[in-house]
Chains A and B, each alone.
Chain A
Amino acid sequence: MVNLVVQYPPLDRAFAALSDPTRRAVLERLGRGPATISELAAPTGMSLTGLKKHVRILEDAGLVTTEKHGRTRHCYLGPRGLEDVSDWVEAYRRTWDDRFDRLEQVIERKRGTSNDQ
């Protein structure tokens, strides 16, 4: 099933990803804020493995991003937005992403200074 989807150009892939009610529910949940795989699985009554497959399809379609923190995987909306509001929402996100990269450098430097004391 996954292989079939992958042959489609990205936009079709997004539509294919959206054709499933579980995946739409996942997106709706992530629209209210990031969540872990188990938080996403809980309301669906689905196994973690089953839910991971759906998240993977959403990720391939660019609708969901995931990030591993130790043993848990956190899921976020994006980079592609649902209604292709994404172009400017994504640009705004990148602006903050870049800001926070630099803030991180400032923090690292401050940490270095306080350790030296």
Chain B
Amino acid sequence: MTNEVHERHKTSITTPSDTEVRIERNFDAPRQLVWEAYTDPELLPEWLGPRELTMSVDRFDFRPGGSYRFTHRDSEGNEFVFFGEIREVEEPKVIVRTFAWEGMPGKQSVERAEFEELDGERTRLVVTSSFDSKEDRDGMLQSGMERGVVDSYSRLDELFERQQAG
């Protein structure tokens, strides 16, 4: 355990156009380290999947033209499969990939992750998702709403547990 106090960074969201969503966050770590954590398939289940689901990485061929496939499973055995194609890899700066959900055939977005070096010890990560239409974007955002609420509740639960333990 460490007593070091980290300032918690904020995640900001903007909608640069009707068909895009942009997420941004700073990390107190060198760019190479952020890149490695972000792209390591073995580590993906620890941070990418929603907390209440277990996530498995079925395929992660991390090179331009390669494909990936993730499955999220809930406690009742329901499966949610996400897949896409890696379009660009420019280590340690840019990853562009497509993102689709089997539950919405024919719909996909293009997700661009940019790793910006602020100084040797800090990195800004910007993830921009582009959709085919405003309807697609809004539909995707709305479908994630419930998940966001569940996630924030589970965070609250953790906070309560920590307080009780302390």
Chain A residues near B (Cβ < 8 Å)? 30-34, 65, 67, 69, 76-78, 85, 87-108, 110-111, 114
B152 to chain A, nearest CB (A): 5
Q: Is the interface of A mostly helix, strand, loop or mixed?
A: helix
Is B13 in contact with A92, judged by CB distance below 8 angstroms? yes
**Interchain CA distance A96-B152 in the complex, whole Å:** 11
Q: Which residue of B lies closest to A69 (CB)?
A: B26
Chain B residues near A (Cβ < 8 Å)? 8-16, 21-27, 29, 33-34, 36-38, 43, 46-48, 50-51, 125, 127, 138, 141-142, 144-149, 151-152, 155
Q: A65-B12, A76-B10, A76-B12 are in contact. Are A94 and B23 (CB under 8 A)?
A: no
Q: Is the interface of B mostly helix, strand, loop or mixed?
A: mixed
Is A111 in contact with B24, judged by CB distance below 8 angstroms? no
Task: Pick the contact of A104: B12, B27, B50, B147 (CB < 8 A).
Answer: B27
Q: A88-B142, A106-B43 are in contact. Are A100 and B14 (CB under 8 A)?
A: no
Is A95 in contact with B148, judged by CB distance below 8 angstroms? yes
Q: Which residue of A lies closest to B12 (CB)?
A: A76
Is A102 in contact with B46, judged by CB distance below 8 angstroms? yes
The 24 listed contacts between A and B (C-beta, < 8 Å) are A31-B14, A33-B14, A34-B24, A69-B26, A77-B12, A85-B15, A89-B141, A90-B148, A91-B141, A91-B145, A91-B148, A92-B141, A93-B12, A93-B148, A95-B151, A98-B155, A100-B125, A103-B27, A103-B47, A105-B47, A106-B43, A107-B27, A107-B29, A108-B29
